[in-house]
Chain A
Amino acid sequence: MSVRDKAYIVGVYEHPTRKADHLSVAQLHAQVAKGAIEDAGLSPSDIDGYFCAGDAPGLGTMSMGEYLGLNLRHVDSTETGGSAPIVHVHHAAQAIALGKCNVALVTLAGRPRAAGAALQLRPPDPDAPELQFERLYGPATQNGYAMCARRHMYEFGTTSEQLAWIKVAASHHAQHNPNAMLRNVVTVEEVVNSPMVSDPLHRLDCCVISDGGGAIIVARPEIAASLKRPKVKIRGMGEALKHGMGGKVDLTYSAARMSGPVAFAEAGLTPADVKYVSLYDSFTVTVLFQLEDLGFCKKGEGGKFVSDGNLISGIGKLPFNTDGGGLCNNHPANRGGMTKMIEAVRQLRGEAHPAVQVKNCDIALANGIGGSLAARHIAGTCIMERV
């Protein structure tokens, strides 16, 4: 059993807001759901499967399913942090392949910026077994990823200037996105001279904090065939967990090392076939890890790979995050997976901004890392094809 060719992404929508002062979390989820179902050309009554994660209010599929007036026969509130929308698309494709639903809605939305709660909206769970061995030491998101960057630098000679190229590429793309929070093109020097947040990561190595969200509609092939939008087919998907391994800590790779090969095998493709990548860029270093772990370059050679504009559309060999990504565009609900999927779909449809549209973009990959790169996290990999 495989999800290859069993499901299509027929609708996507990204909320234009970056600061939702006057919108509730439920409203944001509803507005992106409405946008995606209209993009697909389907009706809300066609939706029979619903997927959302911990960013959804209340009891997730239950609370939002009621708010949206949905009639559901399949629900899934799998929580994997920022990779959840990609994992949800995987699970939606599985459910569709098994006949458990026909049209699946995936939503993600939040307003951490308006709420003034940058990185933690809910108190930590005292029953989480790791909490008492970590929280007192102050593992903020930034210093965890910084430890990964430092170890990578130590083992492979990666430099801050090389990491900066990832931000530079994102900024080149964001200048064309009117909704992006940071539209100024930046240089390597500006990145490495920006204030140190947690060494070796600078302020411009970090993604933005924004409100907003997005939604995806996944449907079975016969339904996709009846719609007018360009066809985006799921070719292969993977998901994997990486954690502290009982103390055998290794901060030089991510769970994408496991999820990527599964997705490529299912797709019957290799990294050389991929024309565009959306990689969850919580930090510059997160992109570097994913490029290596997904096989776009060898482990340890990511720094060289990203240098000299290699990720810039129209200049480099592997355009990435052509909406500006989390580094420049947005990071709704502190979760990057949804917007990664949406921009990949835009590229495959030929609907990215003309200045960043990849020519003949027939195969795209989206990858997310949810949780912390420096501790437990789950990667989701989605390889899609325009047909």
Chain B
Amino acid sequence: MSNERKIPSPVPHPETQAYWDAAQQGKLLVRHCRACDEAHHYPREICPFCWSNETEWIEAKGEAEIYSFSTMRVGPAPYTLAYVTLAEGPSMMTNIVDCDPSQLTIGQKVKVVFRPCDDGKLAPMFTP
């Protein structure tokens, strides 16, 4: 246990409960605005681009490219923090897992996987 990084479980808000419920089913949701046809992340009820309430959940394909990443070397165990850009448009913060960090590159294709937090709740992460 002591050589594992702590992964605090996310605490959903009413606005984001569906996102985390879907993650438990192995689905990644993205919030899309019908008014301006833009997807955004993190998800909000009111679109951050046009302030319309006409937002909806769409299921992401789970395909992304690495925008940037860094592997933390201090602490109990190395882990890789990243921004990945989803096929649907938005970039999101995540971890790249099940990989050799020294082989990662910006622009590399990755796909979503779901990994447990400390309390077992699943969260979206990405892998090459």
Contacts and interface: CB of A to CB of B under 8 A. Distances in A.
Does chain A bind chain B? yes
Interface string B57-73: 00000000001111111
Given A129-B13, A138-B95, A139-B81, A247 B70 contact: no
A251 B73 CA distance: 21
B40 A199 contact: no
A198 B101 CA distance: 12
A156 interface: no
Interface in B80-128: 81-83, 85-86, 89-95, 106, 117, 123, 125
B1 interface: no
A378 to B, nearest CB: 17
B89 A247 contact: yes
A17 interface: no
Given A154-B106, A198-B73, A246-B41, A137 B81 contact: yes
A286 to B, nearest CB: 15
B74 A151 contact: no
A364 to B, nearest CB: 33
Nearest to B107: A154
Interface string A230-266: 0000000000000011111101000000000000000
A247 B73 contact: no
Nearest to B41: A247
B72 A140 contact: yes
A198 B81 CA distance: 10
B68 A150 contact: yes
B90 A247 contact: yes
B73 A196 contact: yes
Contacts of A198: 70-74, 81
B68 A251 contact: yes
Interface stretch (A37-45, A141-149, A295-303, A329-337): A141-149
B38 interface: yes
Given A126-B11, A138-B81, A247 B92 contact: yes
A28 to B, nearest CB: 28
Contact of B70 (A127, A130, A143, A249): A143
Contacts of B106: 150-151, 154
Contacts of B8: 135-136
Contacts of B90: 246-248
B23 to A, nearest CB: 11
Given A136-B8, A136-B117, A249-B91, A148 B41 contact: no
Given A195-B73, A246-B49, A148 B95 contact: no
30 contacts: A130-B42, A132-B20, A133-B41, A133-B42, A133-B93, A135-B8, A136-B9, A136-B117, A138-B5, A138-B7, A140-B72, A142-B74, A146-B70, A147-B68, A147-B70, A147-B83, A150-B69, A150-B106, A154-B106, A195-B73, A199-B73, A244-B41, A246-B41, A246-B48, A246-B90, A247-B39, A247-B40, A248-B91, A249-B91, A375-B93
- 8 smallest A-B Cβ distances: which pairs? A247-B90, A146-B70, A246-B40, A132-B10, A249-B91, A247-B41, A246-B48, A133-B42
